[in-house]
Structure 1
Amino acid sequence: MTKRKFSLRPASAAILLGSAALGGIVGGAALASDDAAIAGEIAAPGPAAVMQSGVHANLADMVEAVGPSVVQIQVKPEARSRTAAGPMTRDEALRRFFGQPSPHGDRARPGGSLGSGFIVDPSGLVVTNNHVVANADVVTVQLSDGRELEGRVLGRDDKTDVAVVQITQGSGFQAVDWGDSDGTRVGDSVFAVGSPFGLGNTVTSGIVSARGREIGGAYDDFLQVDAAINSGNSGGPLFDASGRVIGVNTAIFTPSGGNVGIGFAIPAHLAREIATEIVQNGSVSRGRIGVSMTDLDEDIARRLGLSSEVGALIAEVEARGPAARSGLKPGDVILRFAGEKLEDGRDLARSVGEAKAGTSVPVEVYRDGRLLALELVIGSDRVAWS
């Protein structure tokens, strides 16, 4: 089924809110419309463990079961890393230029932030958003019973906005179960737990409104939900009707800075994969082929002799890179990757990123009016966290 894309007009802006001051608006990303200057919040769901025996009478039973697995994450100003200056990441730029000041005046702590997360292993592994932990090495994790424990950031991935924190004190924590985000359907009931505006253990509910939403990132594949998500929900879990985590709440679309019923969550299958790799390797490895792409519109497609604007148009090929060694050239249009039809360059980026480095993948390429079959060598693009 063709994915429905969420397109932003040129004047629109994506806003990350995960680094708002403590006590103020925190966590999340918002999308602004052309009609108003907007600030929004991001919230992400985490995994929750629910007893699978018996039948839950209502949502209250489910919330009671998963509540102890949802945590609040505080990043204090002094905990932020002092790393060498370099290019700003997408998250950093959004935080710097679109972050909101705290409405609580002198009680705010400049440079601090607050968000949500969820425990995925009894040892104290916590999944959250990358923008929640920002550039911190150490964070404070507050459990549902009020205890505050130290947490160490194991690693993060800014491309998918996923991070993992290890609680360094205590053991035997209650973990949640991952659910099947691939099997989630539009209309399925969901509920979110987190700390909007710092109000811990807040529960909201709704349905899955759409799937496969793209809001500007190369690896976007968001679930859209209408459960209320606000600042501070970032990194918190989105649960299905069985109390399993199917997503991590990450962004909202808003004309006012508050929730209007359009939220976005990272699918559990992606968040789990990234979190597992961070825990195992301390970094994220993606496939790469060394190309840049451009949009294939109707006019370009006609000039190339294509009947439709479907496929990934290669604009440049890195000299001696994987794509060049595989025979790809500028002007080629990749129509299929590993037998799967590509809608656009974003599809190619995701497919290459998920491919294993060192392998060869069959691709179908349109060039000068002919279809060619090539074996595309996948290179490595290991993203180390520092």
Structure 2
Amino acid sequence: MNFSFSRFNSVPGLLTGTAVVAAIVINQPASAKTAKEVAQIAVPTTVRIDNSLGSNYGGSGVIISRDGNTYTVLTANHVVKSANTEYSIRTSKNKTHNVISVQNLQRNDSDPDLAIVKFESTEEYPVAPISNSDNAGIGTGIYISGYPMSIENNNDREYEFTKGQITSRPESKPQGYTMRYDAVTRRGMSGGPVFDVSGRVVGIHGQGDRDGVIKNESATGGEIEIKTGFNAAVPINTFKEVISQSGVQVAFQEDNSQAENVEATQPTKAEVRSWAQDFAAGVVNTIIERVIPRFW
């Protein structure tokens, strides 16, 4: 497969003739967690991806690997597809890091809409575990994590954490979007992770039905698109298949045990805001480290 690599792909020795994929398998019970417990994983591992063209062009992503001070973020390809654009990562700690490498894993419009980007930081961030998305069938409860565009049309993109349920698993869809669910999302959440009720990544969000447009009544005016219909993600197993053929070395944490068949629960906006502040500030570091073991 001939994958395209942008001019930001400057990590030496990244490409090899054959794929080198290291999976760290976690053998732990996949018991259902509360929304707050899943958020403890989602908040510090979900990042905001900013585009130098402006605040209306960004997206989201999730940290899936760490090698020393280099972090790997999985996102949707359409978030970072421009080879002539500079990107940066904004983390839950409100730290901004330049993207040093972009690997576009989508070679044409029908291929899975996936990409990985890298950034360097001396800050410590946890890595989100991934799971077997084939186990995430119709009726499975899920959570969407990301940074939607601001209603006020400014750079203040606040973290959002919404719940849903998988409604269908089509066998084939363009760009790999074969996981559909009912969840409220907004533009800017593309590339963000879809978590199961056990706090493992099972998909990368990237598409949403457009049910309507809400008029922004702030002084700046404008409109914002609200996606309240059926949205879609690329299953994480698709990423595993793509990465195994790409020649890109990624060591990720994998927990393939079956999640409990329970519904996700929707926290209030106040709860999400409080969790995002507390978890980003490291208030519950000991809990985070227990939920997400360190492998570095």
TM-score bracket, shorter-length normalisation = 0.5 to 0.7
Deviation for aligned residue 1:125: 0.4
Deviation for aligned residue 1:175: 0.7
Cα deviation code 1:273-329 (max 9, x no counterpart): 3245446279xxxxxxxxxxxxxxxxxxxxxxxxxxxxxxxxxxxxxxxxxxxxxxx
1:197 partner SS: coil
User: Partner of 2:207 in structure 1?
Assistant: 251
Distance across 2 between alignment mates of 1:277 and 1:54: 29
Residues 311-322 of structure 1: matches in 2 within 5 Å?
Answer: none
Query: Which has more radius of gyration?
Result: 1
User: Partner of 1:135 in structure 2?
Assistant: 82
Aligned match for 1:151, one of 99, 120, 128: 99
Q: Which runs of 4+ in 1 moved over 6 A?
A: none
Using the aligned pairs only, state the percent identity. Answer: 22
1:238 aligns with 2:191: no
Q: Is the 8 A contact 2:81 2:104 kept in 1?
A: no
1:196 partner SS: coil
Deviation for aligned residue 1:272: 3.0
1:201 aligns with 2:138: no
Distance across 2 between alignment mates of 1:239 and 1:262: 17
Aligned match for 2:181, one of 216, 220, 225: 225
Query: So what's the TM-score if we normalise by structure 2?
Result: 0.60
User: Partner of 2:170 in structure 1?
Assistant: 212
User: Partner of 1:76 in structure 2?
Assistant: 52
Q: 1:205 to 1:280 in 2, by over 3 A?
A: same
Aligned match for 1:192, one of 123, 141, 144: 144
1:122 aligns with 2:66: yes
Residues 266-281 of structure 1: matches in 2 within 5 Å?
Answer: 266-275=234-243, 277-278=245-246, 280=248
Distance across 2 between alignment mates of 1:224 and 1:197: 22
RMSD: 2.8
Q: 1:59 to 1:148 in 2, by over 3 A?
A: same
Q: Is the 8 A contact 2:49 2:59 kept in 1?
A: yes
Distance across 2 between alignment mates of 1:57 and 1:185: 18
Question: Relative CO higher for 1 or 2, CA cutoff 8 Å, sep ≥ 6?
Answer: 2
The one-letter code sitting in structure 2 at the alignment partner of 1:179 is S
Deviation for aligned residue 1:134: 2.3
The one-letter code sitting in structure 2 at the alignment partner of 1:120 is I
1:63 aligns with 2:49: no
Deviation for aligned residue 1:271: 1.9
The one-letter code sitting in structure 2 at the alignment partner of 1:211 is R
The one-letter code sitting in structure 2 at the alignment partner of 1:74 is D
Distance across 2 between alignment mates of 1:281 and 1:174: 19
Cα deviation code 1:42-94 (max 9, x no counterpart): xxxxxxx99957966621111113310100001103xxxxxxxxxxxxxxxxx
The one-letter code sitting in structure 1 at the alignment partner of 2:62 is F
Cα deviation code 1:148-206 (max 9, x no counterpart): 11112331133211111011333643111111111211001000100111533210001
Distance across 1 between alignment mates of 2:43 and 2:35: 12
The one-letter code sitting in structure 2 at the alignment partner of 1:167 is F
Distance across 1 between alignment mates of 2:139 and 2:37: 21
Count of residues in correspondence between the two structures: 200
Q: Is the 8 A contact 2:183 2:228 kept in 1?
A: no
The one-letter code sitting in structure 2 at the alignment partner of 1:129 is A
Query: So what's the TM-score if we normalise by structure 1?
Result: 0.47
The one-letter code sitting in structure 1 at the alignment partner of 2:232 is F
The one-letter code sitting in structure 2 at the alignment partner of 1:204 is T
Q: Is the 8 A contact 2:32 2:197 kept in 1?
A: no
Q: Is the 8 A contact 1:251 1:263 kept in 2?
A: yes
Q: Is the 8 A contact 1:154 1:166 kept in 2?
A: yes
Q: Is the 8 A contact 2:211 2:229 kept in 1?
A: no
Cα deviation code 1:75-120 (max 9, x no counterpart): 103xxxxxxxxxxxxxxxxxxxxxxxxxxxxxxx38x621000000
Q: 1:167 to 1:50 in 2, by over 3 A?
A: farther
Q: Is the 8 A contact 1:224 1:264 kept in 2?
A: yes
User: Partner of 2:254 in structure 1?
Assistant: none
Structure 2 residues without counterparts, runs of 5 or longer: 1-24, 151-156, 213-224, 251-296
Q: Is the 8 A contact 1:213 1:220 kept in 2?
A: no
Distance across 2 between alignment mates of 1:119 and 1:245: 10
Cα deviation code 1:315-372 (max 9, x no counterpart): xxxxxxxxxxxxxxxxxxxxxxxxxxxxxxxxxxxxxxxxxxxxxxxxxxxxxxxxxx
Q: 1:241 to 1:279 in 2, by over 3 A?
A: farther
The one-letter code sitting in structure 1 at the alignment partner of 2:102 is L
